[in-house]
Amino acid sequence: MAIEKPGEEFDTVFNRNDSLELSSHHEYESVQARIFKIIVIGDSNVGKTCLTYRFCGGAFLKNPEATIGVDFRERTLQLDGESIKLQIWDTAGQERFRKSMVEHYYRSVHAVIFVYDMTSLSSFESLPEWIDECTRHSVGPMVPRILVGNKCDLRDSREVPTSVAQRLADSYNFPLFETSAKDPAEKEHVDAIFLTLAYRLKSHKPLRLKQPSESSVRYLWNQREREEAACQC
Ligand SMILES: Nc1nc2c(ncn2[C@@H]2O[C@H](COP(=O)(O)OP(=O)(O)OP(=O)(O)O)[C@@H](O)[C@H]2O)c(=O)[nH]1
Ligand SMILES: [Mg+2]
């Protein structure tokens, strides 16, 4: 299996037996892609960079540095024969690295992923503030929001029980996912989180741009499997 760095072109094939293959061939030619901006928000150190790198690069990013401002990652998916480009804004959790950027984060956003670290109660307790910030920036109620608890590989250090997280998620009517950017066994679950969001966005209004040499992802996931992409850590 070849793992490509973010920014390099790769295709992803989800087989029916759920195994994932990455390759760097250019099977797809001129395509029209709908582009969706997704912001990833949460305290510093919860793993936003590692999660987005896992989804866009297919690997665990070792020794990430604190994000300053924003890092952009993207991945193009082929969903039911249509190209969908997810433009992911990996935002800074540290106040000093984000304050000049906050307006830009929320402008024209299509979906929001709130991340906490399940081994850090304080990162979970910060969530209402992040959710408030999002609301204060006029993000509409129709913009999908999801909650992701990261670092489920650190089982013995867990500080946030699933039941507590689920209650908070329910109170906001957000789906909850628990996963790990680090654990290779969770790789396809990380994909499933973003892909579930992509399917929801697919029915939303398009921003249609020409993407002449865009790489694509062929996505062969049936409806039942998509429905099963819930919290399963
Ligand atoms: N065990 C474990 N460690 C993780 C996981 N995800 C990230 N980490 C570690 O958590 C630390 C912070 O990860 P980042 O991805 O840089 O966190 P961030 O949320 O982007 O932080 P800021 O950029 O400062 O907002 C790093 O030491 C990662 O190696 C995970 O799933 N499991
Ligand atoms: Mg970061």
The CATH number of the domain holding residue 83 is: 3.40.50.300
Does residue 224 surpass a pLDDT of 90?
A: no
Residue 32: predicted pLDDT: 75
Contact call for residues 213 and 28 (beta carbons, < 8 A) = no
Q: How many domains does the chain have?
A: 1
What number is the average pLDDT over the span 191-203? 93
The rounded Å distance from CA 15 to ligand 2 centre is 31
Out of 29-43, 94-108, 116-130, pick the least confident: 29-43
The Cα 43–Cα 93 span in angstroms is: 5
pLDDT at residue 67 greater than cutoff 50: yes
Question: Looking at the domain assignment, is residue 131 inside a domain?
Answer: yes
**Residue 12: inside a domain:** no
Kindly report the pTM of this predicted structure. 0.81
- Ligand 1 atom nearest 63 alpha carbon: 29
113 pLDDT higher than 80 = yes
Q: Looking at residue 31, what is its pLDDT? A: 57
Q: Cα of 107 to ligand 1 centre, how many Å?
A: 25
Ligand 1 pocket residue status of 15, Cβ below 6 Å: no
The sign of the CA dihedral 178, 150, 181, 80 is: positive
Q: How many residues does the chain have?
A: 233
Q: What would the mean pLDDT of 106-119 be, rounded to a whole number?
A: 97
Flag whether 154 is in a domain: yes
Residue nearest to atom 2 of ligand 1 (CA): 151
For ligand 1, whether the C-beta of 150 sits within 6 Å is yes
Which structural domain range is residue 193 located in?
34-203
The predicted complex's ipTM stands at 0.99
Let me know: does 11 contact 63? Beta carbons within 8 Å: no
User: d(Cα 128, Cα 109) in Å, to the nearest integer?
Assistant: 19
Domain membership of residue 210 (yes or no) is no
CA distances from 41 to 67, 124, 206 (A): 12, 12, 23
Q: Which atom from ligand 1 is nearest to the alpha carbon of 53?
A: 15
Kindly identify the ligand whose nearest atom is closest to the C-alpha of 97: 1
Q: Is the CB of 48 under 6 A from ligand 1?
A: yes
Q: What gap in Å lies between CA 55 and CA 6, rounded to an integer?
A: 9
Give the span between the Cα atoms of 29 and 210, in whole angstroms. Answer: 11
Among 50, 118, 119, 182, residue to substitute to test ligand 1 (most atoms within 8 Å of Cβ): 50
Residue 20 located in a structural domain:
no
Backbone angles phi, psi at 209, to 5 degrees: -130, 155
**What would the pLDDT profile of 139-183 be if each residue is shown by its tens digit?**
999 999 999 999 999 999 999 999 999 999 999 999 999 999 999
Instruction: Specify if 57 maps to a domain.
Output: yes
**Residue type at 154 in one-letter notation:** L
Is residue 178 within 8 A of residue 165, CB to CB? The reply is yes
